[in-house]
Structure 1
């Protein structure tokens, strides 16, 4: 057996792990690179895998950095199925269609306003490519073994990161290899918490927050503080929002504040076609979260869901105070840029960052205190106030990673640490060696690892 990391190693994006055994080639996750330009350029490079011989693809969850390369994989010749949990199947469909649409729109806008050196600019992939990949998705239940062949089985176990997210367990010739994907919080806001796993011969574990412990202050009170502060200025609060998980968490907290009659009487919008679709998927998969029917009804009455372009334009041009949740979460594209185009140069408005911002994204630039932001081909002065709530993270911190890892009854033969910026991965490696005395290594991009 051997492992090769074609993404998600020494970085937090582009997750792709190839395992080869018994003449089978299985790809765990198939994500897009995001953030820094040198990473994004990798999306245009051909994968060094013979796609005719790729047996299967297995997804840990639906996020774009784990699923967003699938349309290219299929376009370039992959003929097999893509295995995932049933909620992941539904969310991946929404995410890939949105991604294809954004790639098409970005290329069209770049050609129209001539802010690209490519003549013409072309989308990485289009909506039809996304539809072709969606046709290959197959949904499975949690906690059951399913065969790839007579020697290879796979199982999904809840990881608590987003709806449908899972640890992937492979049983190969009686050896167990566990891929963590992204691990959620021990006490998530709306999801069922991650399950413990007690045995792995080999383990691949994420390290997004490998050296950090999340703060424990109350999210609800912080969110209310920024809402009231912005309202007191007569401005609007713009929340760049990840459409899957973060949007639903914020809607839930806003609904609680509304039930407690603490919110000012201003409209609240979720302006994101993908966010709207993802929210409805959350409501439909009732066994995979802890929301009651009444809670769902409260959420539905708190936030107006906006999909149509004309309705979005009307809200963008409305100068009265409001709260807007809009994608994308790292300001890499999407409708949030139209709100910023209108509001970022007015100090009465506020921008609230509620999630991880990868290096090289506009969201990271905002948090770094940059004085201007470039989008739509020009620079915009940042005069709106910028705030951040760290407590919203959907990733386990170091203490939660250790909580999950300590439930293995015996140490894996080798633990691969991936999906983290270098200092985070190295910190987790040191912690595992000193605390658990585990044998571990930080995964490196394109390096082949042989498993006994």
Structure 2
């Protein structure tokens, strides 16, 4: 009897990560993420899993980003009653992200119904805020480096992956096989997060490939961010910055703080963080000092370097202010949230700027802005884009292709098999070829829904 892995998501795409490990009648799910981006991908969120949720014994989470955790409330709603294991940082972030995700889906469904935008008689949310709150008691925490038993006879260990607070790689040991899930790997030169731990020895490796065909530029985020913000400040414009509430928002806040300290930006330039989720996340950095490069003083500066916008009334009030100013608002690929209102309000003015802060998945509004679209559809109407659009190349929280290869090289010995996951077809196959030719290892890109031995 062999241990198998079914690739239920995060295969052939960067979202929806779900890897089902089966052995001897037991089933464990590593990550439980939402599909995002193209509509045909998002529609997969409504398809039933090929395994009944009540037949899954446990879930392991690499980290809290919704493309890795955002399906959990639906899993619980549909009958999963087992434990969800995560690091303390991931648990703390899930407390913020999952209820917010449910709330946004309820808001989007209500908006679609009010404006008759749905093809269905009544648009329904995938799950509600209450469904997300019902999920949180299932989350059990374990620290980095301490092995535990998610299922009797199975052993798991979290190691630090960088990327965001709490992010981990997971070594799963079952029936004599050692399976390593990279999760999303951070950069060794990240502005705020500590570098990933070295890769432990494993028989089978699943490695992400978001940037599997790209190398990050030598220019750092401070240098790349300074010039655009100087331009928009000089012309009195508004910079709207779609950010991931977890990780990217804090990196941008820290970068702007450093640019002001260096004199590259006027200290009077107003900065607003318009995302309750990002505001709450920013406060967590003081509680997890060992996971990132920021001192306690730096962590406190994150919360004092910008005006924290919590209520919807405060958010709406920003529209009555004049530039120059910078508005950081979720979501990072402009798929939902308050940033859509700011984009709709400011994108039409040539004095303004849209700053994209990293990878934009195909099919997202962020990708439309990045491609130079003259109009972008927001809330059922086409918004003209006259604002300058800037895409930062240095802001990614993912390891690039060379850094992924370097991480694999830290393994003491070659694994039997590498599966390349969490990437579009091109980057995934490019990384596969590099692993095969540079390392001499067996590597393949599994198709969505396929099952392979370990």
* TM-score normalised by the chain length of structure 1: 0.98
Match of 1:394 in 2: 397
Contact 1:412 1:438 (8 Å CA) reproduced? yes
The residue number in structure 1 matching 2:27 is: 25
Displacement, 1:263?
A: 1.9
1:316–1:135 distance in 2 versus 1, CA, 3 Å: farther
Q: Is the 8 A contact 1:316 1:338 kept in 2?
A: no
**1:146: which partner in 2?**
148
The answer for the alignment partner of 2:316 in structure 1 is 313
Cα offset for 1:316?
A: 2.4
Aligned counterpart, 2:274: 271
Of the three residues 125, 132, 147, the one matched with 2:127 is 125
CA distance in 1, matches of 2:150, 2:123: 40
For residues 108-133 of structure 1, give each alpha carbon's deviation from its aligned partner in whole angstroms, at most 9, with x where no partner exists. Answer: 11111112212111111110011111
Quick one: which of 348, 351, 358 aligns to 1:355? 358
Q: Give the equivalent residue in structure 2 for 1:4.
A: 6
What does residue range 79-94 of structure 1 map to in structure 2 within 5 Å?
79-94=81-96
The answer as to whether partners of 1:258 and 1:302 remain within 8 angstroms in 2 is no
Cα offset for 1:301? 2.3
- How far residue 150 of structure 1 moved from its aligned partner, in angstroms, is 4.1
RMSD between superposed Cα atoms in Å = 1.1
> Could you report, residue by residue, the CA deviation over 1:212-259 in whole angstroms, capped at 9, with x for unpaired residues?
111111321221111110112111111001101000111111111222
257-266 or 318-327, which moves further after superposition? Answer: 257-266
Cα distance in structure 1, aligned partners of 2:377 and 2:230: 29
Please state how far the C-alpha of 1:186 moved relative to its aligned partner.
1.5
Matches of 1:148 and 1:8 in 2, distance apart? Answer: 22
1:16-415 equivalent positions in 2, closer than 5 A: 16-264=18-266, 265-415=268-418
Q: Which runs of 4+ in 1 moved over 3 A?
A: none
Tell me the secondary structure at the aligned position of residue 135 of structure 1.
helix
Counterpart-to-counterpart distance in 2, 1:240 and 1:367: 12
Q: Distance between the aligned counterparts of 1:51 and 1:198, measured in 2?
A: 30
The offset of 1:303, in angstroms, is 1.0
Write the deviation string for residues 298-328 of structure 1: whole angstroms up to 9, x where unpaired. 3232111111111111112223321110011
Instruction: Determine helix, strand or coil for the equivalent of 1:425.
Output: helix
Ranges in structure 2 where 5+ consecutive residues have no aligned partner = none
Contact 2:285–2:299, Cα closer than 8 Å, also in 1: no
Instruction: Please give the alpha-carbon distance, in whole angstroms, between the structure 1 residues aligned to 2:331 and 2:200.
Output: 37
* Count of residue pairs brought into register by the alignment: 451
Deviates more, 1:288-297 or 1:201-210: 288-297
In 2: Cα distance, 1:276 partner to 1:215 partner: 29
The 3-state SS of whatever aligns with 1:146 is coil
Residues 179 and 418 of structure 1: is their aligned pair in 2 closer, same or farther, counting only changes over 3 Å? same
- Structure 2: how far apart are the matches of 1:373 and 1:69? 27
* Aligned residues of 1:317 and 1:342 also touching (Cα < 8 A): no
**Distance in 1, Cα, partners of 2:138 & 2:200:** 32
